[in-house]
Each structure stands twice: as structure tokens, then as C-alpha cells.
């Protein structure tokens, strides 16, 4: 009997002609080796699948958390007035300026101007947020294209800190005034398609009001899209609160982008 380590037969073993079992015979160790190799390959694949599932679940949970609409128990604007004197902005953080805003259809008014009160050809108030073509004037819906001025008077406790105002979705150009001073623009407002420049972005502007009570005036024009007006909520808060919220959303966008890149690489590797 030959001593020493036995050779590993991967290919079929050929027997001699004198051997009663002449022909091809496969090494019985081959299935066990194959199973070991398969198991060694399957473990990393299983880990990748678990990581992919965990990443996918994290993306879904983060998206749901970001997109959930918080319950808004703050006062709402009524007839162009929002009273926030009972609200502590330090505790509440960011306030949505939803409700009825004073509304001047077909006019780009610069403050100061007198309040509207049943002016012919204009709408006394409009609900924000929503496109203005969902509002009615003289028993007819307003067209999507046009220009208008929105105004809201806000009453707060004090004016000792810098505030910020965030316009989430203005269609398709806007200019913001606090009292009589312009604080920011989105695109370029105009009274016709040749005089305006559309821009679709979030506007975040900071200001320090001269008095605890102040007016917010927003000129809006749209001649390039089927809908016009203020479609997204306008938010008010201390500058640091709005800046922190902005950074959180930016971090989430970067996380989402990186996660999608990892998923794409995983699927690309699976196809190899």
C-alpha cells in the first residue's frame, strides 16, 4: 500500500483495462468540495442581501419620517391676519403661515398700499397654500397664467431676534417684502411672459422686523406654467431653526443619494 498524502481528483479517474470496473469513475469527494465552495460563495452573497435589505428599509423609514405631515395646532390666518402672540417661537420652532391671505389679482403692488376691501376686479382673500387657478372670481375660476399680490399681517411677541421666511413652492416667480423693504426674490416677476423669468426653487430669506407686528407682501407672476400662485406652505421661524431644518433636509438628500448609489453598485455587481 502506497503511503503519503492522497492526490485530490477533480477530473474523472481512468481505470486500467484489467480492472473489472473499467471505464470512468468520478471521485466521490467532488460533491463535498463543491458544496464547500458553494457555501463559501453563498455566505458573502447572504451578507450583501442582508445589508441591501437593511439599507432599503432605512431609506423607506427615513422617507416616511421626512414626508409625514406634522399636526399643525398653531393659529391660522384669517382675513389677512395671523396672531402669533400666544406662540413662543423658541419652543414651537417653525410656524406655517397657512390660511386666508389678502389677495390682489392682476396687480403687482409694492408696499405700502391700503388694505383691500371688496375692490372690484380683485379677490379680498385667498387660501394659502393652493394654486390661484383653484380660486373663483365673479363665479369663474382664475386662469393659471397671470400675476397677483399676496399680503399677510403677522402679530408676534417681540422683534429682538432675526427671523426667517421660507417659500417652499411659488409658481413661478416671486418677490418678498417685509413691511416696506424687499428681502428676496425667486426669479423675476413681471406682468407678461416677456417681462418675467421663471425659477423653481425654495426661497429662504432672513430679516429683523422693526416692530413685533409686520406685513409680509409677496408678488407672484406666472406665464410659463399651467398653474400659478403659492402652492406650498410658507414657513416662519427664528433664523437658526430654519437653518437647522435646511441642513437636516440636505443631510437626508445626501444620505438618499449615497444609498441609491450603493444599491446601483450592488445590482451592477450582481449582473457580473
Lowest pLDDT segment from 5-19, 107-121, 126-140, 179-193: 5-19
**pLDDT one-digit tens code per residue, 196-254:** 999 999 999 999 999 999 999 999 999 999 999 999 999 999 999 998 876 776 776 77
Model pLDDT, residue 24 = 47
pLDDT at 46: 63
Q: Tell the burial category of 229 from Cβ atoms under 10 Å away from its Cβ (0-12, 13-18, 19+).
A: buried
**Among the ranges given (16-20, 40-44, 149-153, 166-170), the one the predictor scored with the smallest mean pLDDT:** 16-20
Interior/surface letters 134-150, b for 16+ CB within 10 angstroms, e for the rest: ebebeeeebebbbbbbb
Rounded-to-integer distance, Cα 236 and Cα 239, Å: 9
pLDDT of residue 64: 64
- Global pTM reads 0.71
Q: Tally the C-alpha atoms within 13 A of residue 29's C-alpha that lie toward its C-beta.
A: 7
Q: Is residue 206 a contact partner of residue 163, using CB atoms and an 8 Å limit? A: yes
Amino acid at each position: 500500500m502506497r503511503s503519503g498524502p492522497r492526490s485530490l481528483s477533480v477530473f474523472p479517474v481512468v481505470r486500467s483495462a484489467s480492472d473489472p470496473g473499467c471505464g470512468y469513475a468520478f471521485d466521490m469527494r467532488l460533491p463535498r468540495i463543491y458544496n464547500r465552495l458553494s457555501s463559501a460563495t453563498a455566505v458573502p452573497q447572504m451578507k450583501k442581501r442582508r445589508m441591501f435589505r437593511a439599507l432599503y428599509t432605512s431609506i423607506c423609514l427615513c422617507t416616511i419620517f421626512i414626508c409625514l405631515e406634522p399636526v399643525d395646532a398653531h393659529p391660522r390666518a384669517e382675513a389677512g391676519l395671523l396672531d402669533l402672540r400666544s406662540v413662543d417661537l423658541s419652543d414651537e420652532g417653525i410656524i406655517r403661515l397657512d390660511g386666508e391671505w389678502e389677495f390682489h389679482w392682476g396687480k403687482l403692488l409694492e408696499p405700502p398700499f391700503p388694505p383691500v376691501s371688496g375692490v372690484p376686479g380683485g379677490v379680498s382673500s385667498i387660501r394659502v397654500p393652493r394654486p390661484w387657478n383653484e380660486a373663483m372670481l365673479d363665479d369663474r375660476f382664475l386662469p393659471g397664467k397671470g400675476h397677483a399680490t399676496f399680503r399677510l399681517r403677522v402679530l408676534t411677541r417681540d422683534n429682538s431676534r432675526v427671523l426667517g421666511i421660507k417659500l417652499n413652492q411659488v409658481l413661478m416667480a416671486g418677490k418678498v417684502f417685509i413691511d416696506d423693504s424687499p428681502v428676496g426674490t425667486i426669479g423675476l416677476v413681471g406682468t407678461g411672459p416677456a417681462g418675467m423669468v421663471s425659477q423653481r426653487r425654495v426661497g429662504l430669506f432672513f430679516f429683523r422686523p422693526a416692530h413685533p407686528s409686520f406685513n409680509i407682501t409677496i408678488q407672484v407672476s406666472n406665464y410659463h406654467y399651467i398653474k400659478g400662485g403659492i402652492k406650498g406652505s410658507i414657513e416662519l421661524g427664528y433664523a437658526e431653526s430654519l437653518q437647522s431644518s435646511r441642513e437636516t433636509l440636505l443631510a437626508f438628500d445626501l444620505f438618499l443619494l449615497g444609498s441609491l448609489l450603493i444599491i446601483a453598485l450592488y445590482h451592477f455587481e450582481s449582473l457580473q
